[in-house]
Structure formats: C-alpha cells, structure tokens
C-alpha cells in the first residue's frame, strides 16, 4: 500500500521538465538515452553530444540509459522514459529495503523505514528523477538481500541473484557501493556470530567474494577503458579519473572546513530525518542497546553506511545533493530504529504503534516545512520551465543544426532542450579542438551563455555575424 501510494503521487512528476534541481546531471543522463534511441544502442560508447561530432564520453556504464532508450523507442519522450526508469527503480529499492528490514529488525521498523523513504521531501524530489542513482541502489539492495539469505543457509539461487546484482551495481555506479559493502559485511558478521564461525565461514567467504570481486574487477576495467576514450579527445581529457581526483574525493582544505560537513548534515536533517537529527541520535542509542550482538552488528552496519560513503567521496556529497540517494536507505533505516526505540517506551503494542505513527508523521511534517524540504516539495508539485535559451536555439536554428556553445561549461542542458548537437568550449579558445576535428562546416551557429568575443572559438576561416537574437551568432565558413 505504501509503495502504491508513493507511486501514484509521483506520476504527475514523470511529465515534468528536467530543468529543475541539478539539470546538468539529469539532462546528461537523458541525452545519452535519447541518442541511443535515435542512433542505436552500443554500450561500449556513450554518445554525449556536447563535445562535437560523434563525441563519446563514457562515465558510468550506460546500462540504465540503454533501458530508457528502449522506452523512448516505444514512444515515450526521453524525459518521461528516464523518470519512469528512476521511479520503478526507486520503488524496487523500497520493497527490497522493506524485505531486508523485516529480516533484520522486524515489521514495525520496516514499515517506518519505508514510510520515511517514500514520503521524505528528499525522495519526493529524487524518487522519479532522471538519474542512475536509484537503479544502482536497487541493485545494491538486491545484492545485500540475496547474500543475506545465502549467508544464513539459503539455496544457490540467492547466491546467484546477489552476485549478479552486485556486479551490475558496481558497474553502473561504483561510488554508490561502499555503503552497501558495509551492509554486506554486517550481514556476514551477524550470521557468523549467530551460527558460529565453523558452520558459516565458507558461505560468508564465497558470497562476499562472489559479490565484490567480479564487481570491483568490472568497475576497474570499465574505468580504464573510459579513461582511455576520454583521454583521446582534447575536449574530454579533463574528465578522466586522474583529472577528477580532487573533484571526487575533495581536498584537505575542504575536509578541514566545518561548513562542508554542515552542508551535508543540513540536507539530511532538513530533507529526510527531521530537526536536529534527533531521530539519528535515537537510532544510535537503539543500536547501542540492541538486544543481541547480531542486532548491534547490523545496526552498526547502517551507521557505517551513513557515515563512510560521504567521507570517502566528500566533494561529491558537498556539491551534489542527489548523491544522498546512495545512503538514503541507511539514513531512513537508522531513523526508523530510533523511532522504534522511542515507541518501545510505551506500555503495550497498541500504544507503541500510536507513538511510532505520531513520531514518524512529526518527522515528515518538520522536514516538509524546513527550508530545503519546502523547496523539494515545491519542485515535486510544480514543473520547472525549460530554459529560455534552449527555446531560442530551437526556434531560430534548423533541426539537425550543430551549434558552438561558449561560456556554458559543458552542461548538456541547452543541447538537450534544443535537441541540437553541440561542441562546448570551456577554455579561452577552440583552436586545439578544431585542429583535430573533421568536417566543421556543419557548425552554422554559435551561442554565448556569457558575454564573450566569439572569434577565438570559431573554426579556421569561419566568421560570426549577429543573428538579431541576443547571444546568438550565425557562423559562415570560407569557400
């Protein structure tokens, strides 16, 4: 019932523009899906057409985009297709979280966790987003649940399901996985303490290795391949793993800045767990007071999942609020343990259920009226308009036109909404790119997101003349 309600209230959001929060990332994902649908699916190539003709920009393995492309071919727009894949994955994650919580902590904790997951402002915004986050989370939870069954003596198909899910999760988005590796470790450790080392160590060792080793190997191979492709194009060399080290992990200066931690914590409190993180502190107390050692081990696994992944990929969590998708199941679970602990103070089951329900509603209400929570709810309810510049490009350039974009970073927003291929320049000029480009005569337009002289960005022998539209120039080629 909770999943059904959560699905219904997100259906209007499927038809919203992707020009909301973090449009850069949402359109980046949808653009690849649309190009796959229009130009053919090839998982070894990622057609992110913002770096010129045939630009191939492999980031994560594009399995999610390929699935969305199949829906586009059935007649859905890329916006709707990607949001639909995101929503289905989010609800699959909710069901898997419920199943795991039911095994580890009981029905009341499972219900509270799913309520928080379904109806927190954070997931109201991101539960149907054009992202690969929740597809990865669903695969990762399937890994943990499958192997938890296997560790405890389940049949071989639990091992197979967990191993395959884990390998795909690592491949689709490896930065999501540290949280779930900790959950997997907690599952194995709890089983060892429950059943004894002699009886369970082989299953735990085989299951852990089957999930983690192939996944890490696939992720490593894909990363090496992706770096090789990106390093071969002067326009994309800045996106290799080595070039993005500080971007991914953060700098020492950033890690010593208390405001960076406050930024992450405010998102968690405002958008998920309520004021002052009281539910998380209650969750920590519930973990410490767990009835059995296995309960405490599993609780500590949730705590570790909340803490370790943001600390590892620090800058990503500071810069991008949607990265919390990777740990929102753990955050919801820890808060649920805290709320259940408070409810247990009541004298009987009926009063405990009432306390749990009222406390959960209080948390959701306070999150919804917080500054960040209000913004999330507003965007869930209201469709953001497409960017005006994209409307200008679509109206004043011919379909199929290729556009030079300057001063726009490498954001796919304008190419996506205008449905135009582009080459986007981030540096002071475009000479290095044009030296290696093929036929440049297809680039008939230039658009400047910021005031700039267009001449340094033009192909050799080309000239730019004002089109009559602000920031839009007509490009003509010699001969």
DSSP state of 16: S
Q: How much is the average pLDDT of 244-252?
A: 92
Give me the helix-helix angle, 156-172 and 177-195, nearest 10°: 160
Percent of the chain with pLDDT over 90: 70
Q: Which domain holds residue 359?
A: 2-380
Q: How much is the average pLDDT of 218-240?
A: 92
Q: How much is the average pLDDT of 177-202?
A: 91
Q: Measured between alpha carbons, how far is residue 339 from residues 259, 288, 462 in Å?
A: 28, 14, 66
- Report the distance separating Cα 29 and Cα 87, nearest Å: 15
Question: Where does the pLDDT of residue 453 fall: very low under 50, low under 70, confident under 90, or very high at 90 and above?
Answer: confident
Give the CA dihedral 35, 36, 38, 40, nearest 10 degrees: 140
Domain identity same for 90 and 47: yes
Domain identity same for 327 and 411: no
Among the candidates 352, 380, 408, a domain finishes at 380
DSSP state of 12: G
- In terms of C-beta distances under 8 Å and separation of at least 24 residues, what long-range contacts does 97-101 make, across chains too? 97/141, 97/329, 97/332, 97/333, 99/145, 100/141, 100/144, 100/145, 100/148, 101/333, 101/336
Enumerate residues 6+ apart whose C-beta is below 8 A from 127.
6, 10, 86, 87, 90, 91, 118, 134
Q: Which residue has the higher pLDDT, 379 or 450?
A: 379
- Report the distance separating Cα 112 and Cα 116, nearest Å: 6
| pLDDT score, position 278 | 83
| pLDDT score, position 298 | 94
Can you say how many angstroms the Cα of residue 411 is from the centroid of all Cα atoms in its chain? 17
Among the candidates 331, 355, 380, a domain finishes at 380
- In terms of C-beta distances under 8 Å and separation of at least 24 residues, what long-range contacts does 204-209 make, across chains too? 204/151, 206/159, 207/147, 207/150, 207/151, 207/159, 207/162, 207/163, 208/147, 208/184
Whether the pLDDT of residue 260 is over 70: the answer is yes
Domain identity same for 318 and 400: no
Domain identity same for 374 and 393: no
SS3 assignment, position 462:
strand
* Matching residue, tokens 């796959």: 36
Q: How much is the average pLDDT of 276-296?
A: 86
Q: Residue 261 is inside which H or E element, if any? A: helix 258-268
Whether the pLDDT of residue 53 is over 80: the answer is no
Q: Would you state the structure tokens that stand for residue 387, as one six-digit string?
A: 């960017």
Task: Tell me the pTM.
Answer: 0.94
Across 45-49, 194-198, 290-294, 327-331, which has the greatest mean pLDDT? 327-331
Domain identity same for 83 and 176: yes
Enumerate residues 6+ apart whose C-beta is below 8 A from 300.
186, 287
Domain identity same for 223 and 345: yes
Domain identity same for 270 and 394: no
Domain identity same for 331 and 433: no
Q: What angle do CA 88, 311, 213 make, to 5 degrees?
A: 65
Can you say how many angstroms the Cα of residue 293 is from the centroid of all Cα atoms in its chain? 33
Q: What is the DSSP string of 325-340?
A: GGTHHHHHHHHHHHHH
| pLDDT score, position 195 | 86
| pLDDT score, position 165 | 97
Neighbouring C-alpha atoms within 13 Å toward the C-beta of 69: 21
What backbone phi and psi angles, to 5 degrees, belong to 91? -70, -30
Domain identity same for 229 and 311: yes
How many domains, the chain? 2
Closest CA to 3 of 180, 168, 100, 127: 127
Q: How much is the average pLDDT of 4-18?
A: 95
| pLDDT score, position 196 | 84
**Plot region of 153 (φ>0 → left; ψ -120 to 50 → alpha; else → beta):** left
Can you say how many angstroms the Cα of residue 395 is from the centroid of all Cα atoms in its chain? 32
| pLDDT score, position 282 | 85
Q: Would you state the structure tokens that stand for residue 17, as one six-digit string?
A: 């523009």
Domain identity same for 372 and 418: no
Question: Where does the pLDDT of residue 479 fall: very low under 50, low under 70, confident under 90, or very high at 90 and above?
Answer: low
The region of weakest confidence among 201-210, 308-317, 421-430 is 421-430
Among the candidates 380, 398, 426, a domain finishes at 380
Whether the pLDDT of residue 350 is over 80: the answer is yes
| pLDDT score, position 425 | 86
Question: Where does the pLDDT of residue 206 fall: very low under 50, low under 70, confident under 90, or very high at 90 and above?
Answer: very high
Helices vs. strands in the chain: H and E counts, helices first: 22, 5
Domain identity same for 45 and 113: yes
Q: How much is the average pLDDT of 101-128?
A: 96
Question: 136 and 173 in contact (C-beta within 8 Å)?
Answer: yes
| pLDDT score, position 284 | 86
Instruction: For residue 422, list its beta bridge partners.
Output: 403
Q: How much is the average pLDDT of 73-90?
A: 97
Q: Which residue has the higher pLDDT, 478 or 42?
A: 42
| pLDDT score, position 91 | 98
Segment 387-425, tens digit of pLDDT: 999 999 999 998 888 999 998 888 999 999 999 999 998
Q: What angle do CA 445, 449, 452 make, to 5 degrees?
A: 80
Domain identity same for 320 and 456: no
């Amino acid at each position: 019932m909770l999943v059904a309600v959560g699905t219904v209230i997100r259906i209007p959001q499927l038809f919203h523009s992707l020009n909301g929060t973090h449009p850069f990332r949402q359109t980046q994902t949808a653009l690849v899906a649309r190009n796959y649908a229009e130009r053919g699916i090839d998982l070894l190539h990622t057609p992110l057409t913002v770096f010129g003709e045939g630009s191939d920009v492999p980031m994560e393995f594009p399995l999610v985009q390929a699935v969305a492309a199949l829906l586009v071919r059935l007649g859905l727009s890329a916006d709707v297709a990607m949001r639909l894949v995101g929503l289905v994955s989010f609800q699959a994650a909710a069901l898997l979280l419920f199943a795991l919580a039911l095994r580890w902590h009981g029905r009341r904790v499972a219900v509270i966790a799913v309520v928080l997951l379904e109806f927190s402002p954070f997931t109201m915004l991101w539960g149907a987003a054009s992202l690969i986050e929740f597809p990865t989370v669903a695969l990762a939870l399937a890994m943990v649940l499958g192997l938890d069954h296997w560790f405890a003596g389940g049949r071989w198909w639990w091992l197979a399901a967990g191993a395959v899910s884990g390998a795909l999760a690592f491949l689709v988005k490896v930065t999501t996985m540290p949280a779930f590796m900790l959950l997997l470790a907690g599952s194995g450790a709890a089983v060892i303490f429950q059943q004894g080392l002699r009886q369970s160590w082989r299953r735990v060792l085989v299951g852990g290795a089957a999930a983690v080793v192939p996944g890490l190997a696939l992720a490593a191979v894909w990363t090496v391949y992706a770096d090789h492709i990106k390093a071969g194009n002067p326009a994309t060399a800045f996106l290799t793993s080595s070039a993005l080290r500080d971007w991914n992990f953060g700098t020492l200066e950033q890690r010593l800045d208390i405001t960076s931690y406050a930024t992450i914590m405010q998102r968690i409190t405002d958008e998920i767990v309520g004021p002052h993180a009281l539910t998380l502190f209650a969750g920590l107390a519930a973990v410490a007071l767990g009835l059995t050692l296995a309960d405490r081990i599993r609780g500590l696994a949730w705590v570790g999942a909340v803490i370790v992944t943001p600390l590892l990929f620090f800058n990503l969590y500071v810069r991008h609020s949607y990265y919390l998708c990777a740990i929102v199941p753990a955050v919801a679970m820890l808060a649920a343990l805290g709320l259940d602990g408070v409810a247990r103070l009541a004298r009987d089951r009926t009063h405990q259920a009432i306390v749990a329900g009222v406390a959960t509603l209080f948390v959701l209400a306070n999150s919804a009226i917080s500054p960040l929570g209000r913004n999330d709810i507003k965007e869930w309810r209201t469709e953001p308009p497409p960017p005006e510049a994209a409307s200008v490009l679509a109206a004043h350039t011919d379909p199929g036109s290729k556009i030079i974009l300057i001063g726009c970073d490498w954001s796919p927003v304008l190419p996506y909404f205008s449905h135009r291929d582009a080459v986007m320049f981030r540096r002071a000029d475009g000479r290095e790119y044009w030296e290696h480009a093929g036929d440049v005569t297809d680039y008939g337009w230039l658009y400047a997101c910021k005031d700039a002289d267009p001449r340094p960005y033009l192909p050799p022998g080309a000239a730019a003349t004002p089109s009559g539209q602000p920031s839009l120039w007509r490009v003509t080629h010699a001969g």
